[in-house]
Structure 1
Amino acid sequence: MAGSIDFSHARTPPGLRLYAVGDLHGRLDLLRAFHRHAEAELHADAPADWRIVYLGDYVDRGPDSRGVLEFLAEAKTRDPRHVVLAGNHDLGLLDFLARPDPCGIFITHGGLETAASYGVHAAHFGAVEEGGDALHAFHAALAAAIPQSHLALLHALETSFDCGDFFCCHAGIRPGVALERQSVDDLVWIRGEFHRYEGLHPRVILHGHTPSGVVTVRPNRVNLDTGAYRTGRLSVLRIDDARKTILTVRQEGVFQSSAAVTP
């Protein structure tokens, strides 16, 4: 699969502004702060068209997974230009609801915080991590607590989104495989092979999944996961044609815009 574009030359379609939003993990406060900023920008300096693409991992670890899903469900219903992609944690919640597994990602990597945001506290059920009756009672309570609108959003999550010279997904792609043939497993889970690959892809890949202290910009990819649930710092890449700017959303809602970004 021959590479064809690098970050410095990549563009959105003419007249379209793209916002790519890193992993949220229950940080409704940062999501709201970003939206206030984006709405103000879109009002003051309206492009011909826009997309806000959320790169996945809305649930687990952080304090308000329920609030994040509610916000995104309402946003997508209000305007389909909100593009909500699947992360491995989001699919892990669906997997747990379908079959409660004490060794799955939901129980072992932050799902108890998700349940707590719905008022379902694992400590009330006993040792859910050991399986058995405690796990099944916890599972039943959580399944009953999640609104249908949240489940509908989760089941409708897309795994990728093309926008001009950019390909958006949660984790990355498998090098050498055509974009339209990427597996769901790679799109939401891949790390090593994708991160190590230095060649160009047919599109510049915008992704999250792997927390980093800063936004990682490479000629072939941009990682926007800056560990918002623990750092209090959500990262967003705004692209207008060939102009790229990193927006940093902090706990106090202060935005810092970098200069035009190049690898």
Structure 2
Amino acid sequence: MNTETTQALAEPGIHFLDARAPDGVRLYAIGDVHGRLDLLAAMHRGIAAEISQDRPADWRVIHLGDYVDRGPASKGVIDFLIEVRKRDPRYLMLAGNHDIGFLEFLDTPDPDGLFMRYGGIQTAQSYGVALPESGIWFSRAEAALRQRHAALVEAVPKSHVDFLRSLPFSLTFGDFFFCHAGIRPGITLDEQDPQDLMWIRDVFHNHPGLYPKIVVHGHTPVPEAEVMANRVNVDTLAWQSGNLTALVVDGTDKRILAMSGERG
């Protein structure tokens, strides 16, 4: 066992029931949006109403990634997030695997990659660009592929590319560690691989022990928020289910906030 793993395993773990936000700071962590601007806007309205009514000393709204693909309004979601972050830096956004996959496609149009296979066609449509179904790419001429890709690159504002490139992979507040997918057990939080933070599933989900902080994540859809001793999953498949979910933490008080709309 290497030194890094030994140190990680030696860190004391914390149970969800004992975990607390920083003093005076209310935390909101919003799950995967996937192009559902309607639900994201409703969630922000709900959060704003709570903040106006309760007047916490301070607050942060953390978005856990996957803003694009599958749903109908990826462009609108990014426009919305850019605007709220400009208005108040307490709105924070993390990178999800689909957000990075969008950047990768803009750089190199892989016909068999994440973007084309899992909802990128809907993302392109939100920018006014029609891409063929992924299976058709194999029979299209290289020139046609380049043409469609070039149209999308032209349609995506530089501000959107800059926004996606600016996204960090994790954030920490109090006893909570926020990321898109999860962490690799046995590795210290500050040494986590970005690929794991965006993609990990089973080895993270199935880990029986406590983590140094409660990991709040999305990435893996669940019917309703999954609250475990060592982690909280708030990806409730918003683009299809019509349910967008957030974890709210204020001191040691925790609750789930959900916004519902039409099914995708």
TM-score between both structures, scaled by the size of structure 2: 0.92
Which residue pairs with 1:104 in the alignment? Answer: 113
SS of the residue 2:66 aligns to: coil
Distance 1:225 1:130 in 2: 36
2:42 matches 1:29: no
Distance 2:234 2:208 in 1: 18
- Any residues of structure 2 matched to 1:65-214 within 5 Å, and which? 65-123=74-132, 127-128=136-137, 132-214=142-224
Q: CA deviation at 1:133?
A: 2.4
SS of the residue 2:27 aligns to: strand
Q: CA deviation at 1:214?
A: 1.1
Distance 1:123 1:175 in 2: 40
Distance 1:137 1:63 in 2: 23
Q: Counterpart of 2:38 in structure 1: which amino acid? A: D
The 8 Å contact of residues 121 and 132 in structure 2, kept in 1 or not, is answered as: no
* 1:241–1:93 CA distance, 2 compared to 1 (3 A): same
* 1:121–1:54 CA distance, 2 compared to 1 (3 A): same
2:250 matches 1:240: yes
The 8 Å contact of residues 39 and 261 in structure 2, kept in 1 or not, is answered as: yes
The 8 Å contact of residues 107 and 129 in structure 1, kept in 2 or not, is answered as: no
Distance 1:129 1:16 in 2: 52
Q: CA deviation at 1:150?
A: 1.0
Gaps in structure 1 of 5+ consecutive residues: 253-263
Q: Counterpart of 2:188 in structure 1: which amino acid? A: A
Q: CA deviation at 1:199?
A: 0.4
The 8 Å contact of residues 55 and 84 in structure 1, kept in 2 or not, is answered as: yes
Q: CA deviation at 1:123?
A: 4.2
Distance 1:110 1:134 in 2: 20
* 1:147–1:207 CA distance, 2 compared to 1 (3 A): same
SS of the residue 1:127 aligns to: helix
Which residue pairs with 1:250 in the alignment? Answer: 260
The 8 Å contact of residues 234 and 249 in structure 1, kept in 2 or not, is answered as: yes
2:234 matches 1:224: yes
Which residue pairs with 2:4 in the alignment? Answer: none
Distance 2:58 2:18 in 1: 21
RMSD: 1.6
Gaps in structure 2 of 5+ consecutive residues: 1-7
SS of the residue 2:149 aligns to: helix
1:64-87 alpha-carbon deviations (Å, 9 max, x no partner): 000000000111111111110000
Distance 1:161 1:130 in 2: 43
TM-score between both structures, scaled by the size of structure 1: 0.93
Distance 1:242 1:82 in 2: 21
The 8 Å contact of residues 21 and 236 in structure 1, kept in 2 or not, is answered as: yes
Q: Counterpart of 2:108 in structure 1: which amino acid? A: R
* 1:107–1:123 CA distance, 2 compared to 1 (3 A): closer
The 8 Å contact of residues 19 and 252 in structure 2, kept in 1 or not, is answered as: yes
2:52 matches 1:63: no
Distance 1:77 1:38 in 2: 17
Q: Counterpart of 2:20 in structure 1: which amino acid? A: R
The 8 Å contact of residues 236 and 246 in structure 1, kept in 2 or not, is answered as: yes
